[in-house]
Amino acid sequence: MGAERIGEVFVSASSEGRAAPTPYRVVGYPTVDRSVELAQAALANGADMLELGVPFSDPLADGPVIQRATQVALEQGATVSRCLEAVSALRRRGIVAPLVLMGYFNPIVAYGIGAFCRDCSEAGVDGLIVPDLPPEEAGELERSCGPVGMAITYLLAPTSTDERARLVAARTKGFVYLVSVTGVTGTRDHLPARIAEFVERVRSLTSKPLAVGFGISSPGQAHQVAGLADGVIVGSAIVRLAGEPDGLERVGEFIAALRRSGVRT
């Protein structure tokens, strides 16, 4: 079951005294085949779990780096079906780590919610993150995910009230995704000043694992977050490296550094 497999990642990482590094990759960038190789390289170099971005023409939660990668992926023909084929390819290569699709709700609706969840499960997807779908509107997707054992993870922003945090924590499966900033994805020079307060507040409201994403740009910042949260999600910095001529090597090196930086001191 997806939620259990995802939960096991955080239990294992915690037992080793570290946070779980979770890189985000846009499926189809710089090409569909290359994105599979990059995902495999990330896992080989210490990633505990992968977020695989499903390209969409209006990625409202994403900054310029991921927006550009998404556009390139769409031009490369990275449809929902091809994203699922990429997941299947990773499973055929022996990948057993949790694979979570992150994408917007419109492509899911266009595909057909029930069919999408069924095909995700058959491909080997463990969970979904749909940033533009709040839990109040996710009933049909949750009902379709349940029978096939897929987790849905919801996001919390720093501006979320305690009431909202309790709702999200109750409905989310696998882990709670804490958005570090009130803005879009992208690299930043500094972590928000009140990130520790945010994590501690949500920690007091739920026992589920907490992973922080948006704006984490370096191993040093990842180390700071690792002292607070159970998981560290890095997107734009890795997507940028993936577009370089030596992207495979650079992504691998970056993930290895993230893994080392996740050790708590």
| Residue 7 CB contacts under 8 Å (≥ 6 apart), including other chains | 174, 175, 209
Catalytic residue (one of 4, 33, 58, 62):
62
Closest Cα to residue 7, out of 211, 188, 157, 200?
211
Whether residue 51 lies in the annotated active site:
yes
Question: What is the rounded CA–CA span in Å between residue 27 and residue 39?
Answer: 9
> What are the C-alpha distances in Å from 12 to residues 1, 99, 109, 170, 247?
17, 16, 35, 23, 29
Task: Please tell me the total number of residues recorded for the chain in this structure.
Answer: 265
Catalytic residue (one of 37, 48, 51, 162):
51
Which residues share a beta bridge with 231? Answer: 20, 211
Do 219 and 258 meet the contact criterion of CB atoms below 8 Å apart? yes
Which residues are catalytic, by number?
A: 51, 62
